[in-house]
Amino acid sequence: MVRKLLKSLYDICSSRRLAVGLMVYAAFLVFVATIAQTQIGIEAAKSKFFESFFCLAEFSAVKVPLVGGATVGALAVVNLLASGWRYARGGVYGFGMSIAHMALVLLILSGALQYFMRSEGSVMLTEGAESDTVALRNGAKIKIPFKIKLVKFDAEYWSGSSTPKLFEQTRIPARRLGSPENRRNELARLVRRLDVLPNVVCGQRENERAVGGAQPRAAAAVARSRGDVLRNGSDVPAANVRGKRRRQ
Amino acid sequence: MKNKFAFSSALMLALAAAFLPACAWFAFTADPLYDSPFSPSLGTLPAMKGGRVMPVSSAAADVLKSLGGSVKARTSGGKISASKWLWQLSADSRKFSGEKLLRTDNRELQKILGANGRYFSYDDLANNYEKVADAANGGDSKLAKAAQAALERGMEYALASNTFAQKTPDENSAAKQIRDWQAALSAASAEIADAKKDGREPDRKKLAPADAIFKYLKNADAFETAYPDRVVNAVKTDSAFATPTHTMLERGSPELSRKHAEIYAEICDALAANDVPAARAALEKARTLLQSAGGINRTRLFVETFSNIFEPFTGGFILYAAALVFFGFAGLIASRADALKTMGGVFAAGAVALHIAGIALRMYIQMRPPVTNLYSSIVFTGAVAAAIGAGIYFSRKYVSAVVAACAAGAASLVVAMNLPYSGDTMGMMRAVLNSNFWLTAHVSTIMVGYCGIFLAGFIAQARLVANLFSRENFGAATGAVSRTVFALLGFALLFTFAGTMLGGIWADMSWGRFWGWDPKENGALMTVLWTAAAVHLKAARLCSDRFFLGFAVLGNIVAAWAWFGVNLLGIGMHSYGFTDGGWIWLGAFVASQLAVFPLCFLKFRGTGNAKK
């Protein structure tokens, strides 16, 4: 009896109908979420529809309960693994097919991992200003255990037009250092980088002890300025900061 | 060959049709002084607008397009070319002030301006300036926006009238203006030097002439500096281009610029006096000067002028339409079907060749990958779809493939030609997009994917509609088409998936995140999911061939949503292109696809062996 039940469960999990159903449903969910984005914003829609197991789609007065993105992702991983086990074939074709499908598993799992381990935010900096406060995308503000300084920001324009051609910035990398003071000195080291894309990159790797234990651990942070802020004529480029979520 | 006569006559006809826009140009608009691809003309001289060096004819067409949406000037004396309009406007700024060349779509504003339909003249705007300015201050209303736009158009018109020469209002000769300004300037500086030597205040009367012109020029220059993208910079400097105003004002203007401005002033005076030989002589001087200055890619200017006159996309549209007509008649007249299909094939091949040639010309002029904005994405996708569809027809003789190809090609060209104002301006790429590698890797790849989806959708649609009229059992035909559609969707899946992933990598590099659930990213994900679902449906034989075709038709809606729909939402980092009226067209397209979808449930009820 149990064996039969397990067998039918395996059949359902590995079924290609489930795969197609999940894909069509996921496309539908993404559509609903995109429409919701116009009303509640990109961030709110993201946490409501994609980072939940179940959600409630609201179209003015009509409310429809939906299965959330997390459930779809989990089911997709189960389905991909089970059907991979069931239908895997040998040869170049079969191998390629397995690689392609397992890559999707990796993609979904890394998305989940990112959800738990990373937070994203931005820092607004004028030229010469420094800050250690990062505004997360959900609006919360966190302090990072080092400061980011925008030393120089140049925008080059196409001759005779207001279209920017190149954003050039000076980035400051922070290295593994003994004391906060040394770190500040190191921060002052300038590295110029010319790139088509605007970059302010600050990397930091250190353990808790080095910062005295009281400071939370920040493993790595990458800040990148967003060129589009400049379009509005402001000289305040924003920087995106990625790092591990702080553990208190 | 069976239909030698049909083939050769179709070839001749297709060639004639391809050159139709160029012939119409030479017959109705061309004036050899202003536009000629083969001899020196005023329209082929270089100028810079929006950061790109282009022939004067392109710059003038850009200005006209943003004034009234048309690339030719409709005057009371008939249609004239853009370059003729711009040169004559510079020569005599009052010449076109009564012509209704500016456009507004707002009814209320049309009433305020006393416009003739949608069009109004610079004089209309100047006479009603107070009223329009009041309306422009009316907050966020539609009228206020339209009034602001109208004022901007007026400003652009005023800027255009100073393109080749700058004159104070009471001066008629541009060359004399330059001489007067130089004389006044030297008199003033001599007076200041004398006063300094004698230790007295300079005599204000002696400074007055220079001061008056200086104030006027300074004002005009401030105006031009405030709108750098609207100004046509016609005067060559050592490294780039400048306006005549700037050249006159700039104390350290290079010798080259001063000479160039003087020659342009001469041309303007000659044009104002209707003295064509003098204008030609001055044109020759300008050419010699520019040649000795160097730094201009003359081949590219020639190619752009040629492509402006040849209009490959208009020719392509005519050929696509003709091919559709031939294939339509081939279906109706059975006795002549072979000959008509041969002719249609020739036209379809010619249309695809012209379409691709047009894209190649654009790529050469811009030195960019084929897709750089919404306009070029539409044109490019249409070309790829048409090329693949025609390829399928020539290898397998599926008429539905070539019909879908021609329809897609023609539709893409129509949509592209009707994109309001934005159109084919070939502007410079802004900083974040300024990367040929990523434009190719991400944008072009995605577009090839979309084109696979659309082509599959249209072929499926053609088959489903044909099933409705079929008197024989269509099971086998449906099966064959569904295999083609399956192959196309597999191709599309590969490209959309690769393009989406590459887009993530680009986003990671420029915005600091791989995926941010931006509406455009959502759209791309939807197309990938839908295409993947379709491919799995067919590969795992989960549905009938007919339903699979219906599913592919719905794919059109998903792709259209991802391509245009999300831009209409106006949020996120990819909201570019048009918004006005876009919903209506998208709605109409979705409705047309939804109307075809139920045909996939149509079964063959006659006798015979249906496959499904």
Stretch among B461-475, B504-518, B528-542, B573-587 having the lowest mean pLDDT? B573-587
Give the position of tokens 């690689």: A99
Assess whether pLDDT exceeds 60 at residue B404.
Answer: yes
List, for residues B70-103, the tens digit of each pLDDT value: 888 888 888 888 899 999 999 888 888 888 888 8
**Does the CB of B603 have a partner CB in chain A at under 8 Å?**
no
Between B548 and A224, name the one with better pLDDT. B548
Q: Give me the pLDDT at residue A243, please.
A: 38
**Does the CB of B225 have a partner CB in chain A at under 8 Å?**
no
Among B250, B248, B96, B258, residue whose Cα is nearest residue B168: B248
Q: Give me the pLDDT at residue B29, please.
A: 73
- Answer yes or no: do A30 and B522 touch at CB < 8 A: yes
**CA A50, CA A37: separation in Å to the nearest integer?**
12
Q: Give me the pLDDT at residue A207, please.
A: 29
List, for residues B223-269, the tens digit of each pLDDT value: 888 888 888 999 998 888 999 998 988 877 788 888 999 999 999 99
- Among partner residues A158, A227, A239, which is closest to B432 by beta-carbon distance? A227
Q: Give me the pLDDT at residue B612, please.
A: 41
Mean pLDDT, to the nearest integer, of B195-211? 86
Mean pLDDT, to the nearest integer, of B3-14? 83
Assess whether pLDDT exceeds 50 at residue A199.
Answer: no
Q: Give me the pLDDT at residue B501, please.
A: 92
DSSP state, A187? H
At residue A42 the predicted structure's pLDDT band, cuts being 50, 70 and 90, is: confident
Q: Are the CB atoms for B138 and B144 separated by under 8 Å?
A: yes
Among B41, B157, B44, residue whose Cα is nearest residue B95: B157
**Does the CB of A89 have a partner CB in chain B at under 8 Å?**
no
Residue of A22, A23, A169 best to disrupt the B interface, most CBs of B under 10 A: A23
**CA B535, CA B119: separation in Å to the nearest integer?**
51
Mean pLDDT, to the nearest integer, of B206-229? 87
Assess whether pLDDT exceeds 70 at residue B518.
Answer: yes
Between A142 and A198, name the one with better pLDDT. A142
Predicted-assembly ipTM surpassing the 0.85 threshold: no
Q: Give me the pLDDT at residue A218, please.
A: 26
Between A217 and B418, name the one with better pLDDT. B418
Percent of chain B whose pLDDT exceeds 90: 26
Quote the tokens at residue B182: 């130089």
Q: Give me the pLDDT at residue B476, please.
A: 85
DSSP-assigned beta bridge partners for residue A166: A156
**Does the CB of A216 have a partner CB in chain B at under 8 Å?**
no
Chain A, nearest residue to B527 by Cα: A27
**Does the CB of B542 have a partner CB in chain A at under 8 Å?**
yes
Mean pLDDT, to the nearest integer, of B472-478? 83
In terms of C-beta density within 10 A (0-12 exposed, 13-18 middle, 19 or more buried), how is residue B41 classed? buried
**CA A123, CA A227: separation in Å to the nearest integer?**
13
Which residues from chain A sit within 8 angstroms of residue B430, using beta carbons?
A: 163-165, 227, 231
At residue A215 the predicted structure's pLDDT band, cuts being 50, 70 and 90, is: very low
Chain A, nearest residue to B236 by Cα: A160
- Among partner residues A160, A198, A223, which is closest to B51 by beta-carbon distance? A160
**Does the CB of B228 have a partner CB in chain A at under 8 Å?**
yes
Assess whether pLDDT exceeds 50 at residue A213.
Answer: no
- Answer yes or no: do A42 and B571 touch at CB < 8 A: yes
- Answer yes or no: do A222 and B512 touch at CB < 8 A: yes
Residue of A113, A159, A171 best to disrupt the B interface, most CBs of B under 10 A: A159
- Among partner residues A31, A159, A163, which is closest to B430 by beta-carbon distance? A163
**Does the CB of A240 have a partner CB in chain B at under 8 Å?**
yes
**Does the CB of A33 have a partner CB in chain B at under 8 Å?**
yes
Chain B, nearest residue to A22 by Cα: B533
Stretch among A62-71, A153-162, A164-173 having the lowest mean pLDDT? A164-173
**Does the CB of B550 have a partner CB in chain A at under 8 Å?**
no
Residues listed for chain B: 612
Q: Give me the pLDDT at residue A245, please.
A: 37
Percent of chain A whose pLDDT exceeds 70: 67
Q: Give me the pLDDT at residue B355, please.
A: 93
List, for residues B263-275, the tens digit of each pLDDT value: 999 999 999 998 8
Residue of A11, A104, A120, A197 best to disrupt the B interface, most CBs of B under 10 A: A197
End-to-end CA distance of chain A: 48
**Does the CB of B246 have a partner CB in chain A at under 8 Å?**
no
Write phi, then psi, for B611 (nearest 5 degrees): -70, -40
Q: Give me the pLDDT at residue A196, please.
A: 26
**Does the CB of B513 have a partner CB in chain A at under 8 Å?**
yes
What is the three-state SS of B44-75?
HCEEEECCEEEEHHHHHHHHHHHHHCCCEEEE
Q: Give me the pLDDT at residue A181, please.
A: 58
Task: Out of A220-229, A233-242, B124-133, B469-478, give the one with best mean pLDDT.
Answer: B124-133
Between A170 and B51, name the one with better pLDDT. B51
Mean pLDDT, to the nearest integer, of A17-27? 94
At residue B299 the predicted structure's pLDDT band, cuts being 50, 70 and 90, is: confident
- Among partner residues B515, B519, B537, which is closest to A20 by beta-carbon distance? B537
**Does the CB of A153 have a partner CB in chain B at under 8 Å?**
no
